[in-house]
Amino acid sequence: MRGGLVEICLLAPGVRVLVDGQAIDAGPLKERSILAVLALADNRVVPRHVLIERVWGPEHPDKLRSSVYSYINRIRTRLSRANADVHLVSRPQGYALEIASESVDWHRVRALRARAGELSKAGEYREASALLWQALELWQGDPLAEVPGTWAQGMRTSMESMRLLLVAQWAETAMELGEFDDVVAVVADVAAEYPTNERLARIVIQSLAASGRQAEALESYERLRGHLAETLGSDPGTQTQRVYQRILNGHPVQREVGATVGPRVHDSLRRDIDDFVARGTELAEIVARARNNPEATVVQVISGMAGVGKTALAVRAAHLLREDFDVRLHLDLHGHADDHPPDAMQALYTLLRMLDVPAERIPAEPQARAALWRSQFTRRRALLLFDDATHAQVAPLIPGTPGCFVLITSRRSLAELDTTAHLTLKPPNQADAVLMFATIAGLTPQRASEAGIARVVRACDRLPLALRIGAARLSHHPTWTPEHLAEDLSRDRLGQMRLAHHDVAAVFELSFTALSPRAQAGFLRLGLLPTTTFSLHTAAAGLGETSVAESVVEELLDAHLLEEIGPAQYRMHDLVGDFVRRRAGEEIAAGERRSVLHRVLDHYLLVADAADRAAHPERKRLGLTVTHPTPLPAFDGPRAARQWFSSEYPALEAVLAHAYEHDFGEHAGRIALALGGLFDTDGPWERAERHFAACLRLWRGLDHGPGIALAAYELGRAQRRQRNLAEAAGNARIALGEWERHGDVHGQACAHDLLGLVWFMTNRNSEALEEYRTALDLRRWVNDQGGAAHALDHIGMCQLQLGDYDAAESAFTDALALHRGLDNRYAEATTLGNFAELVFNRGYHRDAKRMCEQALSIFEELGDTRCVALALNNLGILADYKEDHHEALGYFQRAHQLLWRIGDENQAINAHTGIGTTQLALGHPERARDTLQRSLELVRPLEDPESESQIMLALGDTRVSLRQPREAMRCYRDAREQARRGGVSSMNEALAHERIGDLYTRHGQPSVALAHWNRALGIFDRLRVQRAETSRIKIEVSRQSGTIGA
């Protein structure tokens, strides 16, 4: 049976779905966002990674890919239940929404505009006007206003641009029909909203004048001129000025003045590029600069690395502007492509001949030749494109005559040119690069989402010249798929990027040859670095001196062989890196190559140690042994260290791999162990486990006892974070044995503490307490007050779980005093967060909130994302308890987002559970049930009975709200059993008994209810928490009412 007619409305603040004219539930925001992305794709497949990035943003957990399927299924279910005539289909690469284009308002707008354009060309203005007005009426507010993120913002910008275009086109058709008053009524408000939109302002001015309101028209022109002068520093364009003059002269303005006959047009622009795509922002910037300054000489330099598409952009811009000029000249100066490029005098001769100046009239003297060149532009507007220029070549070619627009492309920045606009062109983003490759290769839009294309684009590192060569190779091999090409490039990408007239390595060679000898030598040595992103300090380590590094880097930046990505931070394009590594291997002796790498690895070891010490000054670590000390960046505290670790982590991965590959295994092992503290708090723990396992093998091979111990200890810590608890315990014992063998008391304390953490997570709380006490004794023996404070904090947490609240309070109090005495802010905040749980359980909620807020403030100051999230989660619990549910939801959502982003799945589940409990409190039991059910699915594989008991309690509450008592009872019993496992949570066990008693009361079984309340009261009394009073009141009221039999 055919489904109902579907309409998807995106031109409104919220995404809406209508079936047969009736709105249906489009689901929560994430599902609505996914639906918007798919609907805008117009039946094309949206790759999974694109969908994730558009909905969740670029910073999302890697594991999110597995969750997308669940979202898609829920959307399918909603559409199916509504009997919608639409299909959400899965494809190997992603998902597609199969729906008629006219069913999506955005696509309907575009179709209406296209049809209206055809009618206008045919002179059918009334019909065109009606269609354009119909398109405008589809707007219902700010499009996609509820959808967050950069993609949605970009779509809103595009949609608003379309609305303005429709307003202008409707107005122009209405003017052809003589409906000037209607035009003023509609367009004046829009023009006021966008006071620098000259087209809309000109329409209002023309319509006012045509309606006989010349004074108002002139006032509108003056307002426009004032806005443009204040905002853009320019006057209205030539077309608007002509309208203004005609109004002043009392002439009709509804039609433009005819063009006057001028001198012969000279045009030597090369042919435009048919398959030019992307670069919309850059084109708009260039065109606007040319048109906003029609009476000035405007010079626009487009600089960038070889092969980035400078010429293609300049040629496209020139063709967009060509009708504005009656002289259009293009001269390739070959500034970097020839051994003997033309100098300025030769260039002037060529240009004058292009303008039909006889050879015999061209002076030999430089100043006279330049003067003759400038004289050619009197009363003429000239567009001059000078391609591949150097400063010496191009400076004398720039005329000073008003009305000239000079476009210059160069591999150098040409910063010496005065009064010049500079545009540094970079490779396009991934999406534009995919589109560029697919367009050049002649692939259909449907094929643009193939996974192989993304691989090819990554292999090319988005460089347009490389994309063009790859696309040409694919076209020349009809039997190849993009996957074939990607495989081919994976073997020798630089060698494969060569055609008859295009060669990526060759254009890099030209840039290299143009460098000074000192820069060439430095560039080759930078090519030996383990990674293409590096700091000035790293460059100095590789080159031997900071002053040398500074001068080399400056020249490479000017030549666009390096890109500055931050203060003293640089990136070398991947293909440039391939080129320079190959050259370095040919020109630098093996001994020197090894010496450069040794210096660089010494530098990374020193900086890794400095960063980790700034974040974790008390951590157990190996001693440093380096041959080449180097200057280091300054870390003014934990936040700076964490920011360095986060931004440098991809480079650190490359450094470790490079060290192992080039027989510097001990450096790799020492660098990884130097980062042990940051790996433990900031992750990624899976990668940390891999690195520390390699360290352990390394130190065992060297029979290095302290190295074996520390590697096993750090490996155990990484495994504990991932809940690989048996392996973590085994490695903690290995570390303990080695440290005992070497008499390292500090190390033994660390190992006992780690064992305690493992037993604590496996709910063996008594054994955990014993390990913590042993660690405390060892710390005190060697007078390690900081370590003793950590042990006391862990003892407090263990006593809290065991229900000995007095002992927990004593341990937390002592730990806080030691942390504050040592001014260890990080440890103080950790203990405050743990102490707050005890204070909360005892009913002192204001004190608990104060402690959590103090902890949050410290963690934010120190830049610890994970601990910030945990503090937010604790504040969510407190706000929920105080019935500030909207505030609680905000805390939980922020915590969940942060924890999910850094990959702490266990704590992210706890925050997700908090979201579910607040949804229930806000009156959304169905939504809460779905959220909590998802939390349960995520937590069960982790075997975390405390978290599972918490989720089951909350699920039981949702079942009560949904009037499902049998399911509620099952949830509460499950919560009780999970809480009892190993005594993981006496508090949750008591809460489960209390809720079970409440259910029995409702079902007329007061004696059974009393038994459960008494059990809850016994636990509450033992824990000395205020919750005990609630149970006492229930028991007393029940007895006084006589509902309990004798």
What pLDDT, in 10s, does the model give residues 905-938? 888 888 999 999 999 999 999 999 999 999 888 8
CATH of the structural domain 274-423, one choice from 3.30.750.24, 3.40.30.10, 3.40.50.300, 1.10.3330.10: 3.40.50.300
Write down the pLDDT at residue 62.
60
Q: Residue 428 pLDDT > 70, yes or no? A: yes
Write down the pLDDT at residue 760.
87
Burial degree of 975 (CB within 10 A; 0-12, 13-18, 19+): buried
Taking residues 607-635, what's their average pLDDT?
88
Six-digit token string for 406: 């000079």
What is the identity of the amino acid at 226? G
> Beta-carbon neighbour count of residue 250 at 10 Å?
8
φ/ψ (deg, to 5) at 1032: -60, -45
Taking residues 606-625, what's their average pLDDT?
91
Spatial distance between the Cα atoms of 482 and 784, rounded to a whole number of angstroms: 61
Share of the chain above pLDDT 70, in %: 95
Determine the distance from the C-alpha atom of residue 329 to the mean position of all C-alpha atoms in its chain, rounded to a whole number: 42
The dihedral built from the CA positions of residue 250, 252, 254 and 258, taken in this order, carries a sign that is negative
Range of lowest pLDDT (225-239, 713-727, 797-811): 225-239
Spatial distance between the Cα atoms of 732 and 323, rounded to a whole number of angstroms: 76
- Look at residues 284, 320, 293 and name the one whose alpha carbon lies nearest to residue 404: 293
Spatial distance between the Cα atoms of 706 and 357, rounded to a whole number of angstroms: 84
Is 1-174 a CATH 1.10.10.10 domain? yes
Six-digit token string for 399: 């005329």
Write out pLDDT tens, residues 850-900. 999 999 999 998 888 889 999 999 999 899 888 899 999 999 999 999 888
Write out pLDDT tens, residues 580-599. 999 999 999 999 999 999 99
Sheet containing 22-24: order of strands: 6-9, 16-19, 22-24
Q: Residue 444 pLDDT > 90, yes or no? A: no
Spatial distance between the Cα atoms of 939 and 909, rounded to a whole number of angstroms: 7
Write down the pLDDT at residue 1.
44
Share of the chain above pLDDT 90, in %: 42
Spatial distance between the Cα atoms of 548 and 527, rounded to a whole number of angstroms: 15
The dihedral built from the CA positions of residue 318, 323, 325 and 328, taken in this order, carries a sign that is positive
Write down the pLDDT at residue 676.
95
Spatial distance between the Cα atoms of 272 and 279, rounded to a whole number of angstroms: 15
Block residue for tokens 């998902």: 95
> Beta-carbon neighbour count of residue 958 at 10 Å?
26
Q: Residue 826 pLDDT > 70, yes or no? A: yes
> Beta-carbon neighbour count of residue 348 at 10 Å?
21
Q: Residue 238 pLDDT > 80, yes or no? A: no
What is the identity of the amino acid at 375? S
CB 676 within 8 A of CB 612: yes
Write down the pLDDT at residue 609.
95
Write down the pLDDT at residue 256.
41
Taking residues 797-816, what's their average pLDDT?
91
Spatial distance between the Cα atoms of 543 and 342, rounded to a whole number of angstroms: 35
Q: Residue 727 pLDDT > 70, yes or no? A: yes
Q: Residue 318 pLDDT > 60, yes or no? A: yes
Q: Which of 82-86, 191-195, 252-256 has the highest mean pLDDT?
A: 191-195
Write down the pLDDT at residue 232.
59
Per DSSP, what are the bridge partners of residue 133? none
Range of lowest pLDDT (214-218, 238-242, 543-547, 752-756): 238-242
Write down the pLDDT at residue 65.
63
Q: What single-letter DSSP state applies at residue 404?
A: E
CB 191 within 8 A of CB 159: no
Write down the pLDDT at residue 48.
79
> Beta-carbon neighbour count of residue 316 at 10 Å?
20
Taking residues 760-765, what's their average pLDDT?
81
Write down the pLDDT at residue 984.
64
Q: Residue 22 pLDDT > 90, yes or no? A: no
Write out pLDDT tens, residues 92-140. 778 888 888 888 998 999 889 888 888 887 888 899 999 999 999 999 8
Range of lowest pLDDT (345-349, 646-650, 978-982, 1016-1020): 978-982
Spatial distance between the Cα atoms of 971 and 980, rounded to a whole number of angstroms: 14
CB 855 within 8 A of CB 825: no
Determine the distance from the C-alpha atom of residue 211 to the mean position of all C-alpha atoms in its chain, rounded to a whole number: 52
Write down the pLDDT at residue 1046.
26
Spatial distance between the Cα atoms of 986 and 1001, rounded to a whole number of angstroms: 23
Confidence of residue 474 (pLDDT cuts 50, 70, 90): confident
Six-digit token string for 678: 């940051």
Taking residues 452-468, what's their average pLDDT?
90
- Which run of H or E residues covers position 3? none
Task: Give me the helices (H) in 882-924, please.
Answer: 885-902, 905-921
Confidence of residue 265 (pLDDT cuts 50, 70, 90): low
| Cis ω before 482 (30° cut-off from 0) | no
Spatial distance between the Cα atoms of 731 and 143, rounded to a whole number of angstroms: 56
Q: What is the CATH number of domain 178-255?
A: 1.25.40.10
Q: What's the chain's average pLDDT?
A: 87
Confidence of residue 528 (pLDDT cuts 50, 70, 90): very high
**DSSP readout, 103-119?**
GBHHHHHHHHHHHHHHH
CB 715 within 8 A of CB 693: yes
CA angle 782–787–789, rounded 5-degree value: 120
Confidence of residue 339 (pLDDT cuts 50, 70, 90): low
Write down the pLDDT at residue 258.
32
Write down the pLDDT at residue 603.
95
- Look at residues 711, 633, 708 and name the one whose alpha carbon lies nearest to residue 672: 711
Taking residues 450-469, what's their average pLDDT?
88
Range of lowest pLDDT (14-23, 647-656, 748-757, 775-784): 14-23
Write down the pLDDT at residue 1042.
56
